[in-house]
């Protein structure tokens, strides 16, 4: 699982004082995360080597720096953090889901206009609703997408609930753009509700498909079937032997050492 931090202050601070220098800084955790009680082995990563990202707000608004190299040995990260001051910083070190793409576009945080977004973990069963999520996006938001992660797609869903004028990437203005808190809150809650709706509907469709499959077939007990066994005795080992019959060659499922087919069984027939 990835690790991230957000630090907000009333006064500007040097990014290195939060991201690099502390004994338990995020850059140090990226190669020596230690143990976190309550997390399973799968989610308790001790190495976050699949890239990192840094986001901050300056005079001209939001900015990001991302790389696919590990955070602990990136010289540019150290140089940047020891030179840049801000009152708000986002930092993220990635442990990618096995099989996912390692690329700069997939590193967090993501930026769209004045907004920064980063995420930890994954969206459960996202592959089943990915098409619906992307189809929901308006053209300007869909065109903004660069990576392949569920995190970025979910951020895009949040952006979809905001007016395009709030997402303008205009660094030439004297005052950076700001998204009203109420609008941001409504967009976040709207995106979460839509994800839950998609997942619930997909689960309902999956349940319906299973129900149809089960109604289309029924189990009927029959003796001397050669394919399935049912009875009081548990069969630990079987042999598959050829049994020649006048009407052709069939396979019989036998107990070791026996010369007859298993007789207590179930066969499947269509209703």
Active site annotation includes 88 = no
β-bridge partners, 52: 67, 93
| pLDDT (tens digit per residue) in 121-179 | 888 889 999 999 999 999 999 999 999 999 999 999 999 999 999 998 766 566 667 89
Which entry of 2, 107, 112, 154 is annotated as an active-site residue?
Answer: 2
Q: Examine the pLDDT at 224 and tell me if it is beyond 90.
A: no
Phi–psi pair at 38, nearest 5 degrees: 95, -15
Question: Mapping DSSP to helix (H, G, I), strand (E, B) and coil, where does residue 54 land?
Answer: strand
Choose among 187, 46, 43, 49: nearest CA to 107: 49
Q: What are 167-204's pLDDT values in tens digits?
A: 987 665 666 678 999 999 999 999 999 999 999 998 88
């Amino acid at each position: 699982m990835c690790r991230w931090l957000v630090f907000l202050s009333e006064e500007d601070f040097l990014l290195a004082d939060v991201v690099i220098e502390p004994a338990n800084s995020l850059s140090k955790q990226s190669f020596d995360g230690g143990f976190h009680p309550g997390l399973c082995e799968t989610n308790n990563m001790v190495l976050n080597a699949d890239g990192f990202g840094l986001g901050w707000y300056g005079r001209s608004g939001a900015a990001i720096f991302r790389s696919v190299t590990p955070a602990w040995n990136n010289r540019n990260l150290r140089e940047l953090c020891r030179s840049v001051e801000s009152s708000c910083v986002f930092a993220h070190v990635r442990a990618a889901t096995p099989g996912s793409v390692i690329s700069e576009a997939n590193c967090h945080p993501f930026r769209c206009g004045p907004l920064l977004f980063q995420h930890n973990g994954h969206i459960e069963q996202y592959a089943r609703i990915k098409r619906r999520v992307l189809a929901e996006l308006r053209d300007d938001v869909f065109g903004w997408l660069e990576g392949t992660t569920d995190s970025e797609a979910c951020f895009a869903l949040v952006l979809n609930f905001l007016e395009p004028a709030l997402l303008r990437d205009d660094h030439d203005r004297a005052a950076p753009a700001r998204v009203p808190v109420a609008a941001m809150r409504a967009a976040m809650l709207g995106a979460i509700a839509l994800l839950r709706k998609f997942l619930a509907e997909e689960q309902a469709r999956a349940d319906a498909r299973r129900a149809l499959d089960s109604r289309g077939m029924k189990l009927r007990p029959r003796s001397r079937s050669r394919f399935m066994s049912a009875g009081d005795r548990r069969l630990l080992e079987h042999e598959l032997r050829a049994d020649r019959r006048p009407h052709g060659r069939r396979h019989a499922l036998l107990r070791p050492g026996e010369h007859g087919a298993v007789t207590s069984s179930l066969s499947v027939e269509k209703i």
